[in-house]
Amino acid sequence: MEDWSARQYLKFEDERTRPPRDLLARIPLERPRLVVDLGCGPGNSTELLVARYPQAQVIGLDSSPDMLRKARERLPQHQFVEGDITAWSPAAGTDLLFSNAVMQWLPNHAAVLRRLMEALEPGAALAVQMPDNTREPALVFQGEVGRSGPWADHPEIKAASRDDLPPVEAYYDLLRPVASHIDIWHTMYNHVMASPQAIVEWFKGSSLQPFLSPLDAPAREKFLAAYAEKIAAAYKPRVDGKVLLKFPRLFIVAVR
User: How distant, in Å, are the alpha carbons of 109, 161, 211, 223, 226 from that of 156?
Assistant: 20, 10, 7, 14, 18
Q: Are 173 and 184 in contact (CB under 8 A)?
A: no
Q: Which domain holds residue 31?
A: 6-255
pLDDT at 249: 97
Inside any domain, residue 109: yes
Rounded to 5 degrees, what are φ and ψ at 88?
A: -95, 145
pLDDT at 13: 72
Q: What is the pTM of this model?
A: 0.92
Report the amino acid identity of residue 166.
P
For residues 190 and 49, what is the distance between their CA atoms, to the nearest angstrom? 25
Q: Are 3 and 35 in contact (CB under 8 A)?
A: no
Average pLDDT for runs of 10 along the chain of length 256: 52 81 96 97 93 97 92 95 96 97 94 98 98 97 95 94 96 98 97 95 91 94 97 97 97 98
Inside any domain, residue 1: no
Inside any domain, residue 224: yes
Q: Are 244 and 191 in contact (CB under 8 A)?
A: yes
Q: What is the CATH number of the domain that holds 61?
A: 3.40.50.150
Inside any domain, residue 133: yes
What is the number of domains present in the chain?
1
User: Would you say how long the chain is, in residues?
Assistant: 256
pLDDT at 14: 77
Rg (CA), the chain: 19
Inside any domain, residue 13: yes
Helices (H), 57-167: 65-74, 109-119, 137-148, 155-158
Kind and range of the H or E run holding 59: strand 57-62
Report the amino acid identity of residue 12.
F
pLDDT at 6: 52
Q: Are 119 and 91 in contact (CB under 8 A)?
A: no
For residues 192 and 202, what is the distance between their CA atoms, to the nearest angstrom? 12
pLDDT at 12: 66
